[in-house]
Every structure is written in C-alpha cells, then in structure tokens.
A and B are shown apart, each in its own frame.
Chain A
C-alpha cells in the first residue's frame, strides 16, 4: 500500500505503466479495459443500488408530505421545504449538542491515542504488532455490549463509583450516569480505535532516518518531534479527526444507553422519528441535514488528501 501517497488523480500509479516495446500492447490494453469494466460491473452496480439510490430516495422523501403509516396515507412529493424549516427550528439545539459532544470526544481521543500510538510505533520494538493488536482486541466484543458494560462500571454504586464512595473520595450523591460526562466518555471510549488506527499507521510510516538526521543537526528530542514527526503525521491526525468526529456526531447508542433526558443527541431524534413516530418526511429532512454537514467535512478532507488515502486507514485495519 506504499504507493498510495504518490498517487496523483488521473495518472497511472507507479509500476502500472505498460512496459514499452511489447508486442500487441494496444490490443492487450483494450482487452484489459474490457475486463476491467466486466469485473467492476457487479460490485459497482451493487454499490449504486446500496448507496447512491437510497441517498437519492432519502432526499426525495425529505421533500414529501403526508404520513406513511400514521394515517394509512401515502407520501406525496410536494417540494415540502417546510420539513427542513421544522427540522432546523425545532432541533438545531440537538445538532449543536451532538457536534459539541463529538468535538470534545474527538479531541480527547486524539490527545490520548497519539502518545500511545507514538510509543508503540517508535519504541514498541518486536512487540509492536502485539501491542497494537491489544488496542484492537477489545473491539471484538460487540459495540452494544461494551456500552452496556459502562452502564455497570459508571453506575451510581457500580464498579468505579462504589469503592470511591465507600472510601469517601467522592460525595455520596455524585453520579456520572445520565449526565453529559457519561455520554462523552462513552463516545470517547467507543471511537478510540478510529483515532488510534490512522495515527498509528502514519507514525509507523515516518522515516526514522529523518528523526536521526534532525538529531545529528543538533535538534533535541522534543524539537525533532515537533519539527519532523508531528508535521509528517498531520495527514494521520486529519484522518483520525474525520474518522472519529463523523460517526461520533451521528451516534445514538451511547446517548441512549448512558445518557439521560438532558443529553439527547440528533441521532436519537432521527431514530425516534423513523422508528417510533413513523414521520418519514421530517425524519428524512433531519437525516439529510446531518448527511450534508458530514459530507462537507469529508469532502474538504478528501480534497486535501485524496479519496484513496483517506480510505487507507480503514483498509489498514485488516
């Protein structure tokens, strides 16, 4: 996967140029192209049906009026822009809260994951792969089950607060569960690997000789880090921010399992409108707003670093 960084859009990646002076090169190229489209078609069509079509339909739904189940009626397409008006007027505070929670969680994730990834990548030695595996291992347990366990850990007399209370470290009426702290902590915990993975990959790739060169040029350890390692891992930090912030903003499992009445996030609202209230038009508008917001962030990122490199971190997981 080393070639992806050098990948310039529109150009053949290195090593893929057709070797010169081969017989029948053109015919071969043409056949290869036909083969390429043939292999592309099934997966490509599935992706269009599985992503592009649903996204178009949800935008369409967001401009309809009438209930689907509630009145036994049909959704009619009426360019119902008022759905968006309702969504923004009534629910902007939930968007803001989601962005705030996700922003805090993302910051904490990166501040905690960077030093850890740095130490493993630079000083892990032969234990590097094992140590990194140990970060990912907990995530073999289902996301929902892990979140449920935090319910017991953070509970009023649970594993963490119970002993602290009996020691008198914290007051008896202190609680974490059902507060914003619990929700942010849960999000931070659950999205930590999304931050750790790209950070580790980019730290791993830093050419150690550059760090040595900096030291040969009389840079202190801290200076070598600040002037060499940190700038070289900026793409990794960027990837970590996107991969953590985007899913964290739409998250609703943490807020609904660990949160209370004052911690409702936009994901919960969308879920409620779709699955409990069956008001698809408003629900779709709420969802489209979230999608557009997140896509803008992702596109700025893709523009800066290219779509191939941005999906690399996810590929490196395997």
Chain B
C-alpha cells in the first residue's frame, strides 16, 4: 500500500494551515466514547440495581418488576431461595470446569502444532477451526442435536451432551489463542537452549512452555466463560437439563426472580476480578521484560 506517496497529497498547491487546537470539536470523540461505555454498561447497572429492589408483596413467588423501590438486601440474603436456579447454576459449573480443562488440553496441542509446524492438513485444520467460529451458533446447535438424537442410547440428551458440545466449540477458541501466542514467539530462543545442550524436551519445558503459558491460561479462561455463558447451543442439546442461561431464558415468560440479578452480579464480579488480575499480571510481566 503506497499510501504515503499519495500523489494528491504531494501536489497540493500550498501548505494547509493547521487549526489551533482549541476548538470544541476535540471533545466530541472522548465524550462519545464515554457515552458508549456507559451505554454498554447500562444493563449491568440495571441488573445490579434491581438486585436491591424492594418487591411488592403479592403472596406469590417473587418476580422482578419494572418499578424500582430502594432498597433491600433481602434477595442477597435469600440468594439460595430458588431451588431450580441453584440446580441450574451447579450444572453450569459442573459443565464449565471439565469442558474448559479438556478443551484447553486439546486446543493447546492444536494451537502449538498450527503455530509451529508446516504440515499436510494444516490448511484443512485451520479451515475447520474457522468453520467452528464462522458457522452461526444456531446451526451448530441444531447440527449437534441432529447428531445426538441418533446416539441417545449411548449419551442421553442432558449434561453429557452439553459437556461434549461445549468442549467442541471451546477447542477452536483455545487453539486460536495459543496459536497467536506461539506465532509471536521467538523460535531462536528454543534453538539457543538446544545449543546450550538442552534436550528438545528440556528446551520445550524450560523455554517454550513458560512463554506460551499466558496464552494457555487465557484460552482456559475464555473457554470457561464461553461455556458458562453459552445459551444457544445448550438450548438445543440439553434435553430437560437446565444450565444457568437456559433456566433464566425459560423464566422470562413468567417473570425473572430477583435471585437471577443477585447471581448475575456475583458472576460479574468474579469475572471482572479475574480479568483485572490477568491484566495486572500481563502489565507486570511487560514491565519486567
């Protein structure tokens, strides 16, 4: 791209006089950006706020209402009140941990191979990973269901099929994350280690592995979050088992109990803390380097 040598720019008749940098227009973009950040965070504020909402006593089970009356911590105290919700949350965790672990192991190997080696089938493997991300979730969900109805005698629709599906879509994301990390790696480091009489194995575990570890950790966290948050694919393959998102979706028609907001807030805080720690650690290692 020879943008620099743009002829139009070169043949300008006279230098353009720069405007003094005092115009009000320079505030447009920062204000707009802050507005956007507020807009994106708005539903989260609402969720947190409504976890403290005082609900009218109707005698029936509690459902979130549009009216907001400040404030009560009753829902936080009764965080475990809705049995089915607790069950759905436990299922979510029971799926997310093994799904993220297995996907991380399989995806790391894939990412490592794709990032380092040139081999027959590399293009094909990249294509399948691309497919995994490019195909709409609803298509994957329905395709997985079409497959699982044939294997119902082996794996009935439920936690098993949810786990198998989550591993499948997480692998691709872990592989990409690790691949990016491996490609950014200075391969001469490993050669240097071998020149210093390290066996390939030692060189890998002492040099390469520590360098790609942040990528692996990021891949694991990504897989965990994707699994915890997945609705569309889960909704197809879950049978009668509910995860947190499918339970919330199912409760929309009757009204969402306030405990959903409480748990949403809890998960949000855990997520933000984890991400914050990751960023801090990345920054620290940048300073060290």
Contact = CB atoms under 8 A, between A and B. Distances in A.
B137 to A, nearest CB: 6
B225 to A, nearest CB: 7
B221 interface: yes
B133 A311 contact: yes
Contacts of B186: 15
Given A1-B180, A47-B132, A50-B164, A142 B245 contact: yes
B66 A157 contact: yes
B82 interface: no
Given A148-B252, A318-B221, A138 B235 contact: no
Interface in A196-233: 210, 213-214, 217-220, 223, 227-228, 231-232
A262 interface: no
Given A57-B150, A141-B267, A42 B109 contact: yes
B168 interface: yes
Interface in A1-60: 1-4, 9-13, 15-16, 19, 32-33, 36-37, 39-40, 42-44, 46-55, 57-58
B287 interface: no
A116 to B, nearest CB: 5
Contact of B119 (A37, A57, A223): A37
A9 B123 contact: yes
B184 A2 contact: yes
Interface string B147-159: 1011000000000
B118 A50 contact: no
A318 B81 CA distance: 35
The SS class assigned to the A binding surface is helix
A165 to B, nearest CB: 13
A142 B225 CA distance: 9
A264 B9 CA distance: 51
Interface stretch (B54-62, B70-78, B169-177, B205-213): B169-177
A178 to B, nearest CB: 13
Listed from nearest, the 9 A-B pairs whose CB atoms lie closest are A50-B168, A250-B136, A140-B271, A318-B218, A54-B143, A149-B43, A315-B176, A298-B134, A43-B106
Contact of A311 (B123, B129, B219, B245): B129
Given A50-B165, A318-B177, A142 B117 contact: no
A223 B9 CA distance: 9
Contacts of A15: 186-188
A32 to B, nearest CB: 6
A231 B36 CA distance: 24
Contact of A119 (B10, B30, B184): B30
Contact of B143 (A48, A271, A287): A287
A144 B175 CA distance: 26
Contacts, number: 329
Interface of B: 1, 3-4, 6, 8-10, 12, 15-16, 29-30, 32-33, 36-37, 39-44, 46-47, 50, 64, 66, 68, 106-107, 109-110, 112-113, 116-119, 121, 123, 125-140, 142-147, 149-150, 164-165, 167-169, 171-173, 175-177, 179-181, 183-184, 186-188, 191, 215, 218-219, 221-222, 225, 228-229, 231-232, 235-236, 244-245, 248-249, 252, 256, 260-261, 264, 267-268, 271-272, 275-276, 279, 283
A2 B115 CA distance: 12
Interface stretch (A76-84, A85-93, A288-296): A288-296
Contact of A218 (B16, B46, B136, B188): B16
Contacts of B64: 152
Given A115-B32, A220-B16, A138 B1 contact: no
A316 interface: yes
B53 to A, nearest CB: 10
28 contacts: A4-B180, A16-B187, A19-B191, A39-B109, A39-B112, A43-B175, A47-B168, A50-B144, A51-B131, A51-B140, A123-B30, A129-B279, A133-B276, A137-B44, A138-B44, A143-B229, A145-B264, A148-B248, A152-B64, A153-B46, A159-B66, A213-B4, A232-B1, A274-B236, A283-B142, A310-B130, A311-B129, A316-B180
A19 B190 CA distance: 12
Interface in A86-128: 112-113, 115-116, 118-120, 123
